[in-house]
Structure 1
C-alpha cells in the first residue's frame, strides 16, 4: 500500500514540475514575442521612413533615394508589418499558455502560424538583403553602381533595418523550438 502511495506522490510531483516548467517556457515565449514584435515593427518603421536627397550641381537638380523606389524594399516593409500584426495577435495565445500551461491545440496552431510567419519574414529580409548588398557593392557586369558612397545615411538605415528583421527571424526559430519542446514534455 505504501508503494502505491509513494508512486502517486512522486507522479504528482513530476506533473507539478512539468507544469511549472511549461509555465516558465510560456513566460519566456511571451517575452520573446514582445521582443520579436519590437524588432519587426522597428524594422518596418525604419525602412518605411528612409529617404535621402542629394543636390546635383545646383539646388534645382536633386537625386533622391527612397525605400519605395525598389519594390523589394516595399515588400520588406509589408512583410514586417504583417508579421508585427500577427505577433500582437499571438500575444493573446501566449498569455493563454501562461494561464493554462497544458493547452496543446493552441500550441500546435501557433507552431504552424509561426512557421508561416517565419517564411514570410525570411523571404522579405532575404530579398531586401540582396538589394542592400547591391547598394553597398554594386555589380560592374550589369552596370549597377554602388550608391552607398553617395547615399550614406540611406544605406545605414536600410542596413540597420535588416539587422532588426534578421534578429526577429532568429527569435521565430526559438519560438517554434520552444513550442515543440513544450508539446514534447506533455505527460
Structure 2
C-alpha cells in the first residue's frame, strides 16, 4: 500500500486457518520457551563439581588428621616415658630425671594426650565431610575445636621448649646448670617430644585452612 508517495507494508493474518485459531475462534497463546532450564543444568553441574572438590578436601583433611594424631600421640608417649638415672649415686643421693619432676613437662603430657583424644573423636566428623561434602555444620564444628586444640598443643610445646632449652644451655644469671651433658637420654627424648608437638601444631594450622577454604567455596 502507498500513500502520498510513502509505502506501507501490511501483514495479513489468516484467521480461518485451523493452525492459528482454536474451535472458539480465539488465537491460541504460544508457549514461551522455558527460561533458565540451561542455567539450572549448569548450576547442577557446578554443584556436582563443587561437591567433588569438597570431597577431595575432606579426604585430605582425614589424612592430615591421622598424621596429627600420630604426632600428638608420639609426643605424649615419648615425654611420658622419659626417665633417666645416672649410673653413679651416693648413699644419700641418686641422680635421676623424670618428666613428672617438672610441672611443665607434666602439662605437656596431659595437653598432648587430650589433643590426641580429640583427634580420635574428630575422625567421624571428618568422614561426614567426605560422605556429605556440601554439609557446613561438621566443618564449622571442626574449625572451632581444631582452633582450641591448636592453642592447647602450641602452649604445651612452647612451654616445654623453654625447659628443654634451659636443660641444654642453662642460665648463668640464675645459676641454672645445663644438665644435658649428664642426662643426655632425658634431653634427647624430651627434645623429640617437643618436635612432635610442634609438628602436630603445624598440621592443625593446615586443617583449619582446609576447612576454611571448603566453607568459603560454598
Task: Classify the TM-score, shorter chain.
Answer: over 0.9
Hey, what does 1:179 align to over in structure 2?
Answer: 211
Q: CA deviation at 1:106?
A: 1.9
For residue 150 of structure 1, give the secondary structure of its aligned residue in structure 2.
coil
Is residue 2:198 matched to residue 1:169?
no
Residues 109-167 of structure 1 deviation map (CA, whole Å, 9 limit, x = unaligned): 11111111111111111000000000010000000011111111111101111111100
RCO higher in 1 or 2 (8 Å CA, sep ≥ 6)? 1
Task: Tell me how large the CA RMSD over aligned residues is.
Answer: 1.6
Is residue 2:81 matched to residue 1:38?
no
Would the aligned equivalents of 2:72 and 2:112 in 1 still touch at CA under 8 Å? yes
Is residue 2:102 matched to residue 1:102?
no
TM-score, length of structure 1 as denominator length = 0.94
Hey, what does 2:39 align to over in structure 1?
Answer: 7
Distance in 2, matches of 1:170 and 1:77, equals: 18
Distance in 2, matches of 1:60 and 1:154, equals: 22
| Number of equivalences | 186
Q: Which moved more, 1:121-130 or 1:9-18?
A: 9-18
Residues 89-121 of structure 1 deviation map (CA, whole Å, 9 limit, x = unaligned): 000100111111111122111111111111111
Hey, what does 2:169 align to over in structure 1?
Answer: 137
Distance in 1, matches of 2:142 and 2:162, equals: 30
Is residue 2:53 matched to residue 1:21?
yes
Hey, what does 1:117 align to over in structure 2?
Answer: 149
Residues 55-89 of structure 1 deviation map (CA, whole Å, 9 limit, x = unaligned): 33658853001111100000000000000000000
Q: Unaligned 5+ residue runs, structure 1? A: none
Q: Unaligned 5+ residue runs, structure 2? A: 1-32
Greater helix proportion: 1
